[in-house]
């Protein structure tokens, strides 16, 4: 009989909430693929012919980024082509099944800036072989997310600017209004396949301009009206 002790799990990942002492506990991350037409085209796909699809990012891949701090972001093993994808992240405050689209926004706790960091070489190989994407999309710390701003806060609009720069040079620059599938649509569709719950995050897609980063570079991810995130690749 094994004498190995019962594992003691680390506390659940949590995110800061702007202006509050309490933190937001993360349950899991959902990501929608190719939700900006220009990004779909730069990846070689026709957005007009594609229904929405989602993939998962493990809770352990969510990497909390605190306000006003340049945070070291580890470069993961097994890749030489690690790409940035800046995204608006939606945090759910309550869940449900088969949520009607016209009720979906009632489930939103708040919003944050996030990155869907991607081992593009491994994702590309998985695509060719018809294999799952997790090895490319769910590396440790591949989901950095900044502090959450509660829904309804002034200064934030779902038509605002989303952008990312590397060492001061702009790489991605678009507006949230360019999403193909809206946030209410994403929530409604996901709830047809999963019972959504409080603590779930939805990464809502990235605009065009994704590219590789290298160690030593500094990324600044921003969404108008939200706390930006600053990360140094190490």
User: Residue 2 pLDDT > 90, yes or no?
Assistant: no
**pLDDT tens-digit readout, 205-219:** 999 999 999 999 999
The rounded distance, in Å, linking the Cα atoms of 107 and 126 is 34
Rounded to whole angstroms, what are the CA distances from 146 to 48, 50, 93, 189, 190?
32, 30, 17, 25, 23
The rounded distance, in Å, linking the Cα atoms of 126 and 95 is 31
Give every strand in the sheet of 212-213, ordered side by side.
118-119, 82-83, 212-213
- For residue 36, the model assigns a pLDDT of 85
Which residues, including other chains, have CB under 8 Å from residue 214's CB and lie 6 or more apart?
75, 233
Lowest mean pLDDT among 15-24, 52-61, 71-80: 52-61
Q: Name the H helices within the chain.
A: 37-42, 120-129, 134-137, 183-193
**pLDDT tens-digit readout, 175-229:** 999 999 999 999 999 999 999 999 999 999 999 999 999 999 999 999 999 999 9
**pLDDT tens-digit readout, 67-126:** 999 999 999 999 999 999 999 999 999 999 999 999 999 999 999 999 999 999 999 999
């Amino acid at each position: 009989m094994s004498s190995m002790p019962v594992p003691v799990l680390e506390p659940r990942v949590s995110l800061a909430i702007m202006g509050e002492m309490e933190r937001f506990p993360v349950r899991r991350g959902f990501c929608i693929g190719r939700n900006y037409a220009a990004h779909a085209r730069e990846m070689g796909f026709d957005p007009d012919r594609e229904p929405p699809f989602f993939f998962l990012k493990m809770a352990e891949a969510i990497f909390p980024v605190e306000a006003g701090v340049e945070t070291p972001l580890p470069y993961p093993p097994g890749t030489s082509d690690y790409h940035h994808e800046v995204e608006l992240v939606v945090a759910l405050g309550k869940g449900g099944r088969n949520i009607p689209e016209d009720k979906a926004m009632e489930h939103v706790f708040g919003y944050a800036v996030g990155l869907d960091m991607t081992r593009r070489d491994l994702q590309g190989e998985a695509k060719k072989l018809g294999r799952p994407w997790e090895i490319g999309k769910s590396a440790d710390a591949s989901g950095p997310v900044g502090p959450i701003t509660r829904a309804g806060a002034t200064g934030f609009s779902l038509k605002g600017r989303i952008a990312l720069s590397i060492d001061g040079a702009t790489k991605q620059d678009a507006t949230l209004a360019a999403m193909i599938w809206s946030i209410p649509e994403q929530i409604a569709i996901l709830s047809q396949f999963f019972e959504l719950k409080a603590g779930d995050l939805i990464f809502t897609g990235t605009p065009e301009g994704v590219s590789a980063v290298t160690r030593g570079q500094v990324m600044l991810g921003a969404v108008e009206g939200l706390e930006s995130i600053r990360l140094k690749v190490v």
